[in-house]
Structure 1
Amino acid sequence: MKISRVALDLAKNLIQVHAVDSSGRPVVRKSLRRTQLLPLFRDLPPCEVGMEACASAHHWARHLQAMGHRVQLLPPQYVKPFLLGQKNDANDAVAVCTAMSHPEIPRVTVKTIAQQDVQALHRVRAMRMKQRTALINQTRGLLAEYGLVIAVSPAALRKAIPELLEDAGNGLSFDFRQLLAELYEELVAIDRRVAELTQRIERDVRAHDQGKRLLEIPGIGPLTASALIATVGDAKQFCNGRQMAAFLGLVPRQHSSGGKNRLLGIHKRGDSYLRGLLVHGARSVLRTATDKPDDRSRWLVNLAARRHRNIATVAQANKNARIAWAILTSEQRYRAN
């Protein structure tokens, strides 16, 4: 039995295996538990192994690469069209195996443990910020039910709560004052946690050579630089800067036919968190570009005047992504002009 390709459909406890020989004929179709997967591959000669880039995929990919196997991580949206019949683990594994035979499908680079560590920091920080936003909105809503309307601003709420707790004439009951004090303590604790995570991210990126060079780009701060390094990894997987910008969802959608090219808004595929950081950074560049004499600032201001500020912002984010690709794929530093 000569195995050429092995496709895996990953799950929490069971992993579906679909292996084919050089002619594409299925030779293995079975479901394994997590503890049975690595022993199976130890007995196999080096071969192509494919799986969707999903939860735990990078973990298994590192183990299989250490055994000498050639691992392909495929974006799930490119595997879906190859699914035949009803959705189940066996058919999913067949779809992965079929997609592996198409070299035009882009592959996802296997992340290192260090990259996943940084990504985990960003995800936990983003989760804390969502919790903080939810807490602020709920607190404002509760206060509004007592006739106390606070301005739509986290800073305004932080300032108002201690004043409300001290004001004995605002009609708040003892029980609600106690609850409001507990909510305020929770808000302060989340603020402290977010600040700690932000400091860790900034400290790590400033100790990284690529991070230092990315920080020289206007519109890319410590959070964006750190997220770029963790998400993109080896930027040489992209042929050029436009491919990396497309990976981040910063290029137009197409609806072209019969030689007529029709470009729409950005397609927004890829990592929405990283794309949001790049767009926020580009917005700050546009806000401060008015009085600057350099070519980039003049181009950005003219574009915003001719089209729209949002279009100029995304264009600047696209440009920053391309510049970041050039810096990540070489030892160059940012040059303003």
Structure 2
Amino acid sequence: MDKIATIGLDIAKQVFQVHGADAQGVTLFNRKLRRSEVRPFFEKLPPCIVAMEACGSAHYWGREISALGHEVRILPGQYVKPFVTRGKTDAGDALAISQAMRRPDIRSVRLKTAIEQAAAMVLRTRVLFVRQRASAINALRGHLTEFGLVADRGIPNVSKLAAAIPEKGDARIPPAARSVLDEILAEIEVLTSRIERIDRQIASEAKRDEDIRRLTAIPGVGALMASTIKAYVPDPAAFKSARHFSAWLGLTPKLNSSGGRLRSGRISKMGNPELRSLLYLGAVSVLIAARRRGTAWTWLRRLMDGRPLKVAAIAVANKTARIVWALLTKGGRYEAPGERVGA
């Protein structure tokens, strides 16, 4: 195996597929490995380049294999898929990974540490609980509507909705319905307490992180958004420019060019949906505050006067993303346009 230069590894829970090639890209083998055989296999190999798709457990195996002296590259799945030929098989996937790795224009994903993965796990768990709470609230609202009880939308109005439920013994709510309504209310309370605990944990970590403190000075960026950016974008310098970073987030328009004519469409919505959603919500809060209290930013006033709210929010989110990239890559602190010397 001294001629092996690259390995394409298709990872799974139990059965792995490895494609080995020499320096010229000629296939040397394409075989299966059981989970218990993966580490001993790479221990016997001389140092080489090992590529795999960015998926579940990719960073774990990347750390394990890189510790053995190999160079690990994690490739985005959407860049590997075009290299898959003639059906979906493990052998074909391993070959496609090996071929995609040789393309100089395909950028690999930075290998994350266990601590960075833990930070992202906290945020994903919070998103899970928020979705579960929203589902429970919608169920509660729908069930109570059947008995003529309604309330305004929003988390703060859930308590009003619960208070509107008649006392026990009231004939308007049958006993069977009351029992399940109590279960839903208890579930909402449990989920709310879990979300609040995670929020306190995030806020506590944010106070100790210098980058997060600098990001929260940007209008519309709070501790949750700054923590999400730090967790999902551990290496912002990997992007060539602020526009590349914004395009990765899906905040730039799709381009359709043919015959020298360039047309811009809607935003691509590529990248991390949670981070893009937070940037959008932060931009909406900036616009709402500007409408209520006014703003000294001329560009923002022109944007609000000439564009609908959602279109303006995307533009503000795009600008915020670029400011975030500049702060994380170039250092310094955020200064509002009116605070700059000579502004």
Amino acid at match of 1:195: E
Tell me by how many angstroms 1:74 deviates: 0.9
Alpha-carbon contact 2:20-2:28 (below 8 Å) kept? yes
Structure 1 vs Structure 2 CA RMSD? 1.6
Q: Would the aligned equivalents of 1:165 and 1:177 in 2 still touch at CA under 8 Å?
A: no
Give the deviation of 1:269 after TM superposition. Answer: 0.5
The alpha-carbon deviation at position 85 of structure 1 amounts to 0.6
Shift of 1:168: 5.1
With 134-143 and 269-278 compared, the bigger mean Cα shift is at: 134-143
Summarize the Cα distance change of 1:307–1:146 in structure 2 as closer, same or farther, 3 Å threshold.
closer
Q: 1:335 to 1:261 in 2, by over 3 A?
A: same
Contact 1:292/1:298, CA 8 A, preserved across alignment: no
How far apart are 1:313 and its partner, in Å? 0.9
2:106 match: secondary structure: coil
* Cross-structure match for 1:160: 161
Report SS of the residue matched to 1:323.
Answer: helix
Task: Summarize deviations over 1:160-206 as a string: whole Å, max 9, x none.
Answer: 22341437546112332233222211111111111111111121122
Structure 1 contact 18–28 (Cα < 8 Å) conserved: yes
CA distance in 2, matches of 1:146, 1:323: 50
Report deviation, 1:226: 0.5
Distance 1:151 1:216, change over 3 A: closer
| Equivalent residue, structure 2, for 1:237 | 238
SS at match of 1:262: strand
1:231-270 aligned within 5 A: 231-270=232-271
1-structure distance, mates of 2:301, 2:128: 35
2:29 matched residue in structure 1: 28
Which runs of no fewer than 5 residues in structure 1 stay unpaired?
none
On the 8 A contact 1:118/1:201 being kept in 2, the answer is no
Tell me the equivalent position of 1:41.
Answer: 42
Closer, same or farther: CA 150–269 of 1 in aligned 2, 3 Å? same
Report the Cα distance in structure 2 between the residues aligned to 1:271 and 1:7, rounded to whole angstroms. Answer: 26
User: Helix, strand or coil: the match of 1:148?
Assistant: coil
Q: Give the 4+ runs in structure 1 shifted more than 6 A.
A: none
Correspondence 1:110 to 2:100 = no
- CA offset digits 1:234-280 (Å, max 9, x no partner): 11111111111111111110111121111111100110001000110
Kept after mapping to 1: 8 A contact 2:295/2:301: no
User: Secondary structure at the residue paired with 1:134?
Assistant: helix
Rounded to whole Å, the distance in 1 between the matches of 2:83 and 2:18 is 17
Map of 2:210 onto structure 1: 209
Paired position in structure 2 for 1:63: 64
Within 5 Å, which residues of 2 pair with 1:180-329?
180-290=181-291, 291-294=293-296, 297-329=297-329
What is the identity, as a one-letter code, of the residue corresponding to 1:266?
I
Helix, strand or coil for the counterpart of 2:120?
helix
Higher mean displacement: 5-14 or 306-315 = 306-315
Normalised by the length of structure 1, the TM-score is 0.95
In 1, are the aligned partners of 2:9 and 2:97 still within 8 Å (CA)?
yes
CA distance in 2: counterparts of 1:316 and 1:61, whole angstroms: 37
3-state DSSP class of the match of 2:40? helix
Equivalent pairs counted in the alignment come to: 335
- Structure 1 residues 73 and 183: CA distance shift in structure 2, 3 A: same
Identity %: 40
229-238 vs 106-115, which moves further: 106-115
1:25-49 deviations in Å (ceiling 9; x for gaps): 1112111122211211112122111
Counterparts of 1:234 and 1:245, CA distance in 2: 14
In 2, the alpha carbon distance for the partners of 1:209 and 1:112 equals 19
* 8 Å CA contact 1:252, 1:266 repeated in 2: yes
User: What is the CA–CA distance in structure 2 between the aligned matches of 1:180 and 1:292, rounded to whole Å?
Assistant: 44
The gaps in structure 2 that reach 5 residues or longer are 338-343
Contact 1:14 1:32 survives alignment (8 Å): yes
TM-score by length of 2: 0.93
How much has 1:97 moved relative to structure 2? 0.8
